Structure 1
């Protein structure tokens, strides 16, 4: 079996699609991170805190994310910060194929993981 063949066999199950679609729908009401501190099985420090500026709980998965969040939040031009933001799985699968890279997946089942970015930051439009 060629390497390219193995890499394109990553699949996504209905539960993952359903969870991602529910998350996208919930965004219309209020922001909720795709991954929370409870979702990750990680050794290390995580931070689950209430942000009085954004008036919601924030889920940060490392000390580095925590320091970065505080730095971004201190900018007067920041309108909102969304952490653990899910990326479109169709797009990340296409990117992996285009780069001839292995998409993050469960190595036993070959089910692809939904990738996230640490922060999506909305800035004030300065005119």
Structure 2
């Protein structure tokens, strides 16, 4: 964009923000779901300054948005709960399980991972429009 417009100062907006990745739920996203916050699935590039908004047509980066962070934290907690329930069914936890197979567990885990990516994708247009 810099080559095309002569100037462009963009900054990443993480749909699942860094406070979540760096907080108590980050390990779930990294280790159990094998996701990385700065990969394309979670990033929207937005204007870091007014000049970039004007020249490049990118919406302004909103900075920290506590209401968005709270909503995303709720999503992550629900996803993590579903993952832990699947672990229970598989029998990995101390309370045993109800006997789903490894293949069924992996299918549930894969579907949950895809749901996370799809949910974030559905939220990207709102972030890109500045709403």
Structure 1 length-normalised TM: 0.28
Quick check: which has more Rg, 1 or 2?
2
The structure that is helix-richer by fraction is 2
What is the TM-score normalised by the length of structure 2?
0.27
Query: Which has the larger strand fraction?
Result: 1
